[in-house]
């Protein structure tokens, strides 16, 4: 999980880095929808498009591996669950376990790919966008909801706090884990009941730490006169030619995606 969050803090120079964050958020939503709509032919098309985005993000195979590493186990688990428990034409059977079916292999591969593609799409957004830019973009995107009396600026403040404190809690968890190892905990071969008991204690300690930080943050905000209402942003977002080009590329790819779906 820390690998998935770390790109948020320090995106590197890349062509995607200069694209307006509103465009990148909309592109992430559109690509997520396309991922769920993809058939076998569209999977290849989307995979190539995501590969190009990884190249233009300034990352590479190593960056892709760093994004996918935390979810590798769950992707494999999803694949085998579908392969073993989806009814259909039997491919081969295993001792004790249910038979592996052709439909299960196809469904498992599709679901595992969708899971990985969604993670890569979100990782590209955080890799090329600063948290402050994400918050400013969300404020602009959600602003029309103010007509319905939705407190959009309060929502963006909550998002900003979540982005700010997620790495902090991960660091605190690592400190607690290191302190436990220094006291002789986490020894290989430790009983499962002992591991569960220790995990419960760590969870309680993290919750208490989160409550303390929330109380300190509330006191700091009150001391600085924080109040609800209109606020300004350090960076005013403005679309340029590059942003319009990115929108055109996204629209063209979406049209190509649905064209392939109709004729394939």
- pLDDT single digits (tens) 241-260: 989 999 999 999 999 999 98
pLDDT for 210 equals 82
Report pLDDT for 149: 83
CA distance 254 to 34: 8
Residue 206 has pLDDT above 60, yes or no: yes
Task: Note the pTM of the prediction, 2 decimals.
Answer: 0.76
Asked whether residue 74 carries a pLDDT value surpassing 70, the answer given is yes
Categorize the per-residue pLDDT at 190 as very low, low, confident or very high, splitting at 50, 70 and 90.
low
pLDDT of residue 24: 93
pLDDT of residue 5: 41
Residue 119 has pLDDT above 70, yes or no: yes
Q: Residue 236 pLDDT > 70, yes or no?
A: yes
Helix (H) or strand (E) holding 208: helix 192-223
Query: How far apart, in whole angstroms, are the C-alpha atoms of residue 144 and residue 139?
Result: 10
Residue with tokens 């009983």: 191
CA distance 172 to 40: 43
pLDDT at 114 over 90: yes
In this structure, of 6-15, 176-185, 230-239, the range with the lowest mean pLDDT score is 6-15
């Amino acid at each position: 999980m820390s690998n998935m969050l770390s790109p948020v803090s320090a995106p590197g120079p890349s062509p995607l880095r200069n694209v307006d964050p509103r465009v990148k958020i909309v592109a992430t939503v559109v690509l997520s929808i396309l991922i769920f709509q993809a058939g076998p032919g569209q999977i290849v098309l989307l995979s190539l498009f995501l590969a190009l985005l990884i190249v233009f993000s300034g990352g590479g195979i190593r960056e892709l591996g760093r994004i996918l590493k935390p979810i590798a186990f769950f992707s494999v688990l999803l694949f085998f669950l579908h392969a073993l428990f989806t009814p259909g034409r039997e491919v081969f059977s295993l001792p004790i376990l249910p038979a592996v079916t052709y439909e299960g292999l196809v469904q498992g591969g599709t679901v595992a790919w969708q899971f990985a593609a969604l993670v890569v799409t979100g990782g590209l957004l955080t890799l090329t966008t600063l948290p402050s830019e994400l918050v400013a973009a969300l404020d602009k995107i959600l602003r029309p909801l103010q007509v319905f009396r939705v407190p959009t600026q309060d929502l963006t403040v909550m998002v900003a706090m979540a982005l700010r404190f997620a790495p902090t809690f991960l660091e605190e968890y690592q400190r607690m884990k290191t302190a436990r190892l220094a006291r002789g905990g986490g020894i290989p071969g430790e009983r499962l009941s002992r591991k569960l008991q220790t995990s419960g204690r760590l969870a309680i300690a993290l919750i208490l730490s989160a409550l303390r930080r929330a109380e300190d943050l509330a006191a700091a905000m009150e001391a600085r006169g924080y109040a609800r209402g209109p606020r300004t942003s350090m960076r005013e977002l403005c679309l340029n030619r590059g942003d319009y080009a990115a929108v055109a590329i996204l629209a063209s790819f979406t049209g190509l995606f649905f064209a392939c779906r109709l004729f394939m």
